Structure 1
């Protein structure tokens, strides 16, 4: 058989082969075209999703900053009425923008602060913020309940309704004696309200009396700017309650704010092994007593 005869195809065979070649080309072109269309279609969609995601993130970032980002304004404490104070004053008092927004929303809905303690219910207000602002809250008479005014117009009887009076604050250069003042006197000090007045009295009782005004800074969140209005007299220093370290038990010793359990146990062990303590110098021999701790204890120790 010759080569020509080997590669000879009939007319019907040639048509079938041609049809197969055309079909293969068409299928190949269709596959390439559909793949290119998918790639080009997916790219704009992906870019659009990315842009949308960035826009949402940017929107959330702006919202978070406007509502939750702490302000860097210097705090300036002044008397204010939460019912009428403008946003600028509220921000200057140390409130965050989102807290001011919450307060304004409360007022716009008809909410009223009728007494200083009502301000503590402001959404998001921390205990530290309330303690700091409470002495500066001033509620105008216009916001008292109407029933109070009607009651005042009725004929007076033998039983008078109690009236709430806010103490007059001390002027610069005036003082209260720290160890003899009661809570009423203490609340006359600028920056001191009912809470800190109680804290001062409670800490004074635990110490046995203050030996210096700097000890007030040991009270949590105490307003340091108020220290200049306090004084400790020589008579008060002489009346400080002292601890006899040779007679008190471990439990009695550790009740003092300056003596912890380990210090009290060290004193009791020293007495058991060496007898009574005679001076503060002997406390230096005990590992739990540093120079600073002995200095703080000096006004409160006797032998």
Structure 2
């Protein structure tokens, strides 16, 4: 068989082949000549139109914020214009000279509920250089829609009988009035709300004070606050002890685990108490424990208000 015979096609096959060849040529022509007229997608075009309208409005409001072109470090052409980092789309952010990965980080931050409340917040964008931020800083315009709502809530007016105008009351729940020098509170009965009135004591310290008092069974001395790690000793003058009624432990009936829960009794002391009861019977006075090696005099005295027999 000759090679020419191998590529020979019948007339009907040649017609079909030519038809498909023309069809491919027509499709390629449409793709290159018709599709090439529109360089952007519909979404990008819509974003561009929205950006132009927004830029026109901003230019009318801020005439000094006209776009200013510049080049980025990698040679890309960029320009500066007024923008809101909370609403700017990817097209705008890229035009500002930001890298695609920076734009993705901004989108992730906003998707998680993040809000840029001030131009300084935008400086925290990862990878943003000082030069970039200083160039963009005058063009950052944060919309009032993203300002804290608390700024627009007026305090409740309170009429003062001493004058003819209204005075505004302070929110003493969120911002409690602090004690003045010489004023004190009863440590034995104070709760977290009262403790937060002391200068230097906030929510965290108030909870620690109440929590340690609960473990003790009640405070019997202001000096016990020093037993809390890193306690601000400058606040001690604002405390006093009124009628202290601490919860008492019956050391003749409690187990080792129950005894060791108290801050003044460790595991070894609890074990010695139980051993003493087993070998010598009931304890009737703490002085009986003075013969034990883990009970020096000072340990016995600070434990005395919290035990019963």
- TM class by smaller structure: 0.3 to 0.5
Q: TM-score scaled to structure 1, two decimals? A: 0.48
Greater helix share, 1 or 2?
1
Higher share of residues assigned strand: 2
The TM-score normalised by the length of structure 2 is 0.47
Higher relative CO (Cα under 8 Å, sequence separation at least 6) belongs to: 1
